[in-house]
Structure 1
Amino acid sequence: MGERETWTTEEFGTSHEGAVGVLLTDGSVPPAVYFDSASGTSGQSVSQWSVYDGRHPHGPRAGRLRAVCSCGWTGPEHPLDWEAIGETELAEAGDEQADACLRDWDGHTARVEATTVPLPATVTDLLRRLEEEIDKLTNDSPIAAVRATRRMEITAERVGYWAARSTRHDLNAAQAAAALGLDENTARKTLARLGRWSPYT
C-alpha cells in the first residue's frame, strides 16, 4: 500500500484507520502508483485516490471511490463520471465523492463506538469536566496544568492496573477488543500496558 491520506479517531487510532479507496471499472483494487524521483535513483509509491486519473504512465483510471477501513470494513461505492470530469484534475472533480467517503467512514466509526462497552454518564461527564478545567488552568498557570496532567497519569496508572487485570481474568482478547472498539493486537497491548505484564505472554 502506498502513501495516502488517512483518517483516525483519538479513541480508536489505527484500529479503525480510514481512507478513500479506489476501484477500477472492472471492480478490482489497483496497486499503488509508483513515481520516479527526479534523480531516478529512488521513487515513491502512492495510493492517494487523486492519482488514479489514467494520465500517469503507470496509473490506471479510477471508476469508483469508496471508504475503506483498516478493520476490513468498506463503504458504499461512489461512481466517477469521466465524461463530466473531462480534463479537470481528479483531485478537484472527485472532491464530492471523496467527501462522501469521509462521511461514510464517520458513520462507520460512530457505529463502532455504539458497540463498545458503555460508560456511565457520571464518568463521561467527569472526564469532560476535568478536561475543561485543565484547559482553563492552562490559560492561568501552564505549569499547574502540567502537574494536574501528571496527577491524572498517576491516577490512570493506579486504577487501570486492577481494571486491566480483572479484564484479563474475565474476557479473552477478542471479547476485550470488541468491547473497546480496537483490533485484538492493540487491545492486548493496551491491557498489558495498564496491567504491567508483557504483551507477548
Structure 2
Amino acid sequence: MWDHDLDGRREHEGLARALDDTGAPDGRIWNGHRWQEWDAWTETGSVTHPLRAGGPAALRAECQCVWHGPTRPLDSDPSVTAATVEEDWEQHIAAATVAVPPRDVEEEISDLLLRLFALAEDRPLAALGALRDLEGKIEPQRVVAVGRARRQGDSWQKVADALGVARQSAWEKYQFAGTGTDVTAAYAKAEPPTP
C-alpha cells in the first residue's frame, strides 16, 4: 500500500487492486512482493471483493478516497504492472492535493472564523466591520494567486478547480491576471500585513 502524508495528515492511501479477466475487482492486492488478500479499506469500510477463480488478469490503482485508475493488463512480473499503477496513483495524488492549503494555514483560518463567530455574538456591528475589511483583502490575494498560478503554467481548469468554480467563470473573472495594471494594483493591495 502507498501512503500520502501532507503536513502530517494522511488523506490518501493507495493500493494495486487485482482485477479478474472481466475487469471485476478481485479480493487480492499486489503488496510489492506477493499477492495478498485485501477486502476492504480499514477507514472507509468499502465493499468487500470476493476472490475470483483463475487468478488476476490486470491491476489498477485504487485510493481510499474512492478514486481508481485505468485498468493495466498484468505483466508476467506483477511488479512491472504494479509500478505503472503506482505512477497512476501518484498522478492522482498530485492532482488531488495541488490546491490543499498547508495545515497551519487551515488552522489559522479556523481560528479566525471562530473569533469572528464569537465577535458576532457579542458585538455584531464590529464583526460586520471586520468581515468588510477581510473581504476587501481577500480579492486582491485571489488575483495575485491566479496570476502566479497562470505564470507558472497552470491551466485555467486547474485554477478553476482550486477556486471551486467552472473554468469559464474563472477565465471571465481573472483573464487579466498575470498581465496588466490590474494585477499590479492587486499586488499593491495584497502586500503582506505588517505585525
Higher helix share: 1
Common fold, TM-score beyond 0.5? Answer: no
TM range (shorter): 0.3 to 0.5
The structure with higher relative contact order (CA 8 Å, sep 6+) is: 1
Higher strand share: 2
TM-score scaled to structure 1, two decimals? Answer: 0.40
TM-score scaled to structure 2, two decimals? Answer: 0.41
